[in-house]
A = this chain, B = another copy of it.
Amino acid sequence: MKLFDGGKAPNPRRVRVFLAEKGIDVPLVPVDMAAMEHRGDSVSSRNPLQRLPVLELDDGTILTESVAICRYFEELHPEPALFGTGALGKAQVEMWQRRMEINFMFCVAAAFRHVHPAMEGWEVPQIPQWGEANKPKALEFLHFLDGELSNREFVAGDSYTIADITGMIAVDFMKPARIVLPEDLTHVWRWYKAVTARPSAKA
C-alpha cells in the first residue's frame, strides 16, 4: 500500500492528519504539486481527474477522494471512531463534515483559487469576482459555527472527528486565501487552538 501525497495542499493533509489520529503508518510517495507533477503520468494513470491524494493498495486497486480514503481506514481500524458511532452519531458527523466542506472549505478554496495570482494557471478561467464572493460566505458560516461551538467541545459533538480535521485545515487555508479569522469568534478560536495543539496537526 502507498499513498501519493501532495504536501501542503489541504486534501492530502486531511488524510495525513486522519492517519496520525488513528496511529496508522502508510508509506508516502511525494508528489510536487507546485511543479504540476499531479498532472504527470504517475498520477494521471491512477486518477484521470488528476487530484491528490491517491491510495494504491497492494493489488493495484486505486482509491481517490480524501474522505473516501479516510473511510477505508475507518472501516479497517474503527478505533478511535472519527466518523462517529451509532446510526445517529454517524449521521451527525456526516452532517457536520459536509457543512464544514460545502459551506466553508469549498468557499475558502474558491477564494484562494480564483483570486491568488499563483493560481492563474491552475484555475482556468480564474474569475476574481467569484473568489471575492466566497469570502463573506466563509465568514458567515464561521459566525454560525461560533454559536454551535459555544455549546460543545468539537464540531460534531463531544468527540474529535473528521469534521474537526476538515475545519482545522480550512481555517489554515484561510491564510493563503487572505481571509482573516475574526477575533470576536471566541468559540471558534478556542476550538481552533485545541485542535491545532494535537500532535496530528503537524502531519
Contacts and interface: CB of A to CB of B under 8 A. Distances in A.
A152 to B, nearest CB: 14
Contacts of A87: 72, 75-76
This chain: how many copies in the complex?
Answer: 2
A190 interface: no
Nearest to A86: B75
A57 B67 CA distance: 27
A28 interface: no
A91 interface: yes
Most interface-central of A49, A91, A125 (chain B CB within 10 A): A91
A68 B92 contact: yes
A38 B133 CA distance: 22
Interface string A48-72: 1100000001000101110111011
A62 to B, nearest CB: 9
A38 to B, nearest CB: 15
Contact of A91 (B72, B94, B99, B144): B72
Contacts of A68: 91-92, 94-95, 98
Which 3 A-B pairs rank lowest in CB-CB distance, beginning with the nearest? A75-B87, A72-B91, A68-B95
